[in-house]
Amino acid sequence: EPEVTQTPSHQVTQMGQEVILRCVPISNHLYFYWYRQILGQKVEFLVSFYNNEISEKSEIFDDQFSVERPDGSNFTLKIRSTKLEDSAMYFCASRFGRAPTYEQYFGPGTRLTVT
Amino acid sequence: DAKTTQPNSMESNEEEPVHLPCNHSTISGTDYIHWYRQLPSQGPEYVIHGLTSNVNNRMASLAIAEDRKSSTLILHRATLRDAAVYYCILMSNTDKLIFGTGTRLQVFP
């Protein structure tokens, strides 16, 4: 069964460093997302991406964050200058068709630890 | 975004049916009812969704009240692997999932 994959599974970085989190969505999906979950808290929406542009972003997704689909398979989240509060699980998701009739499929997540 | 209300936690024994309720009294006519779950240390996982009629798939059943102000996710025979946090989420035109705190389901052997 097709699945969303994410790498790395765990990333440790120092405050102020740039990180890139990578995702490979399901191959025929057209809509892509990033969510994050701080330990013990809710899953929070960050950004949605369709047709090579951001469709929607949350207040969390400020100028320090960017997303890119550099080729036909990868979808990346970049944090330019990490802060301690960016420590969280980051989940990538993809969807075949438009909401609300289609479901999202999530990856296993990347645990980002900022020290 | 339309709001849902779920119990914080529920318990079940293995191989028994589980009925997870969700109230959504402010649901609009175009809102679909989606259910996701999150197993420990994993990403959210789609379970089922519906609009008006009851729905069945290999994982669960979704029973939707006639007035659509509530719904129930039914796991027909709970297994230990079903222990997770279950989220009831309303979706209409928005593309994003808004997760609440969900219902933490414990399954006992």
Beta strands in chain A (DSSP E): 5-7, 10-13, 19-24, 31-37, 43-50, 53-57, 65-68, 75-79, 88-95, 104-106, 110-114
Instruction: Work out the minimum CA distance from A105 to partner chain B, whole angstroms.
Output: 7
pLDDT for res B80: 97
8 Å CB contact of B91 and A109: no
Q: What is the mean pLDDT of residues B87-98?
A: 90
Q: Are strands B103-108 and B9-13 parallel, antiparallel or unpaired?
A: parallel
pLDDT for res B60: 96
Choose, out of A42, A90, A96, the residue to mutate when testing the contact with B (most B CBs < 10 Å).
A42
Q: Residue A95: is its pLDDT beyond 90? A: yes
Tokens matching residue A76: 């990346």
pLDDT for res B34: 96
Chain B contacts of A24, Cβ < 8 Å?
Answer: none
Q: B82 φ, ψ to 5°?
A: -80, -5
8 Å CB contact of B97 and A98: no
Report residue A39's pLDDT band, with 50, 70 and 90 as the boundaries.
Answer: very high
Instruction: Work out the minimum CA distance from B70 to partner chain A, whole angstroms.
Output: 18
Q: Residue A41: is its pLDDT beyond 90? A: yes
Of A4, A55, A109, the CB nearest to B95: A55
Q: pLDDT > 90: what percent of chain B? A: 91
Q: pLDDT > 70: what percent of chain A? A: 100
Q: Residue B1: is its pLDDT beyond 60? A: no
Chain A contacts of B95, Cβ < 8 Å?
Answer: 31, 33, 48, 50, 55-56, 98-99
To the nearest whole number, what is the mean pLDDT of chain B? 95
pLDDT for res B44: 97
Q: Are strands B70-75 and B61-64 parallel, antiparallel or unpaired?
A: antiparallel
Judged by phi (left if over 0) then psi (alpha if -120 to 50, else beta), residue A103 lies in beta
Q: pLDDT > 70: what percent of chain B? A: 98
Q: A103 φ, ψ to 5°?
A: -95, 160
8 Å CB contact of A91 and B96: no
pLDDT for res A72: 80
Instruction: Work out the minimum CA distance from B56 to partner chain A, whole angstroms.
Output: 15
Choose, out of A10, A43, A95, the residue to mutate when testing the contact with B (most B CBs < 10 Å).
A43
Q: Residue B97: is its pLDDT beyond 70? A: yes
8 Å CB contact of A99 and B46: no
Report residue B94's pLDDT band, with 50, 70 and 90 as the boundaries.
Answer: confident
